[in-house]
Structure 1
């Protein structure tokens, strides 16, 4: 888990054994950007939602498939969850890249960060958002 910006953290796939540590770290909201069934054996969204509830966390399933067009409202829905309060939010996918791109698109589109600031935030979290520059530029 890496801090991307303020209260938003990103990570790769989480597993059932991660929930106690996430709770201890103060995570209050989980956003799952990984489609169910993307990889054999991954934690599915229904089980993750139940685990999140058991650990006092909100859970949002907002999948983004690799190589597919963004679903309508996905960026807006992601941003609404992130902006809904000051709680620590963990967004995850396979590597953290899709979650970081969704965050960056929403922030850049609303003028809350520049494209360069979004890319720097990604770099600080170990996510190479420079590859998403054309998409981020188009979101401005």
Structure 2
């Protein structure tokens, strides 16, 4: 498991296993978010099994699947209030962590400077420079 902190309330990770859930709980996370569709690729753990492990370890579970490479404005509209209302800290995962990071970045751009968002993503190992036009669009939606 490769957890990468984006800010004080949200960390992301590439695909986790059922066994990882106990460690996520032990590390103090309160909410586990899955942004990867079930059965996206052969061999990935079933979301129902991860959800059951989350419940067993006292984690809130949110299943918000998003298609890889096709994050829509509606996906951001669904992610933003969920992440604001979730019990913190939150750990979100997808195949590589990029989808979760993009969802966070686009929703955070409504309240934060896009340069800070790009810097935080970069420090976590995600290059979102290709997302600059959408970040600026989201930032403009708040004015």
Fold match (TM-score > 0.5): yes
Contact 1:7–1:86 (Cα < 8 Å) also in 2: no
Partners of 1:98 and 1:68 lie apart in 2 by 9
Partners of 2:122 and 2:73 lie apart in 1 by 26
What's the counterpart of residue 138 of structure 2? 139
Partners of 1:136 and 1:89 lie apart in 2 by 22
Equivalent residues, number: 137
Structure 1's unaligned 5+ residue stretches are none
- Normalising by structure 1, we get a TM-score of 0.90
SS of the aligned residue for 1:83 comes to helix
Contact 1:64–1:71 (Cα < 8 Å) also in 2: no
Partners of 1:86 and 1:15 lie apart in 2 by 22
- Normalising by structure 2, we get a TM-score of 0.88
Structure 2's unaligned 5+ residue stretches are none
SS of the aligned residue for 2:23 comes to helix
Q: 1:67 aligns with which of 52, 57, 69?
A: 69
> What is the aligned-residue RMSD (CA, Å)?
1.5
SS of the aligned residue for 1:127 comes to coil
Q: CA deviation at 1:131?
A: 2.3
Runs (4+) of structure 1 exceeding 4 A deviation are: none
